[in-house]
Structure 1
């Protein structure tokens, strides 16, 4: 069963927390050759304003496979072109100066082939700049796999599961033969404010990491799954005195200049 389309409203609930890593990545992009700038996996266009401000004289191309997200991106007015295509299938008509991808490529497999393929779309001197969550071993994400496999073994089997995002050193080894690479990892201690119902971490993950799990569950199954998940979250991420929760979140970054 395919996951439903992304919900721009629930995703943008934590817009500031999701935008900061993109700005940290953008700060590491240096001089570029002539050519377009591509926001690969642009979503609702949250990074479009920052890219347009940094590169005002370039064509800004947004790429995403979510119709709902592309509608939101178009309304920002930042993109010269929006392409409705999966990032795994996208390729430009001509070499581009920058491929910028914030929190998108962890949804795709086979990074050993994907990243060099994307680098091949760059003009000489161009840059591939990528940020991906690397949160899969944290309780927020580990609980999803453990509980799904325990409660619904007919639909969830993680025996052959592999992390979707590799360790930083693996990306360095992978990309060093292609060009000049810089890789780093950051743990963001995110303060999630109190919510009217549910655990704040669940409200954060429901628009991203939880989507493929909930897509396979009936409503009553989803409610049981969420109850168990929130009970575990309450122990792993206790509520502070002001009702907020401190939620460490790990992300891996790299820039590759060819």
Structure 2
């Protein structure tokens, strides 16, 4: 997690849905083209959830470097990587050209992808790969509801909500850089029943809604969460056992330079 907004990332809260958040990373890992020799960088590594899979797939002989701005997340990641670097992933530069920069659900927190992605690709060793997965869910009720209610209740319009470009824009950015693969997947996730609010609200409050909740005082935060629980119940009705089927769309790409 980038942590550039200054808010502490809680590995426990983020990890409530660890399995669901990990699956897209594994799908991206299985879609990698062949790699040259060189280190592997997990950019925005968080607590190191993908480290074991990276090692198992790419071999234990490769140097594995985790990069993240959150000291709390890196403390959880300790021992899962050969090296850990605390840095803002928007400006980070590798000491050695990597064979792979792998970024799972992190770059959506950053803007200026037209500049960021070519810069990251330029740091790779020849034949190296930039592999990225990001949520593409902002137009769905799970995400749009937070912003609509914040505006309706309090007139709040946060300007630091994570988001990404449309797929065609990424193809335009990446095609001049090398060999591109670009795709989207919708995951139909079953969220377990919760005694602490609607499962979709709980899933999104730890990630997408963090900047918005951070901007509110405790009273307004509680009011927004209550309103969001009610709205999510209409958009994502619970089954008889209290579980919820939650479609979640993600965008993937790899580019080999």
TM-score for the superposition, normalised by structure 2? 0.95
Q: CA deviation at 1:145?
A: 1.1
SS in 2 for 1:176: helix
Match status 1:64 vs 2:63: no
Match of 1:134?
136
Which residue does 2:190 correspond to in 1?
Answer: 191
Rounded Cα–Cα distance in structure 2 between residues aligned with 1:86 and 1:251? 23
2:117 aligns with 115
**Which ranges of structure 2 fall in alignment gaps of 5 or more residues?**
none
Q: Secondary structure at the match of 2:125?
A: strand
- 8 Å CA contact 2:161, 2:209 repeated in 1: no
Partners of 1:96 and 1:126 within 8 A in 2:
yes
Describe the SS at the equivalent of 1:246: strand
- Runs of 4+ in structure 1 off by over 4 angstroms are none
CA spacing shift, 1:70–1:143, aligned 2, 3 Å: same
**Alpha-carbon deviations, 1:177-223, whole Å to 9, x = none?**
11000000000000001011200011111210111011111111111
1:96-245 matched pairs, under 5 angstroms? 96-153=98-155, 155-156=156-157, 164-245=163-244
Extract unaligned runs of 5+ from structure 1: none
- Report the CA distance between 1:157 and its aligned residue: 5.7
The Cα shift of 1:163 comes to 7.5
Distance in 2 (CA, whole Å) between partners of 1:196 and 1:37 is 40
**Is the CA contact 2:161–2:211 (under 8 Å) kept in the aligned structure 1?**
no
Q: Is 1:12–2:11 an aligned residue pair?
A: no
Match of 1:52 in 2: 55
Instruction: Tell me whether 1:36 sits opposite 2:35 in the alignment.
Output: no
Aligned residues: 252
CA distance in 2, matches of 1:116, 1:24: 23
**For 2:215 and 2:164, how far apart are their aligned partners in 1?**
23
Alpha carbons 2:161, 2:208 under 8 Å: kept: no
- Shift of the alpha carbon at 1:233? 0.3
The residue aligned with 1:91 is 93
- Asked if the contact 1:88–1:108 (Cα under 8 Å) also holds between the matched residues in 2, the reply is yes
CA RMSD of aligned residues (A): 1.4
| Aligned residue in 1 for 2:83 | 81
TM-score, with normalisation over the residues of structure 1?
Answer: 0.94
CA apart distance, 1:167: 1.6
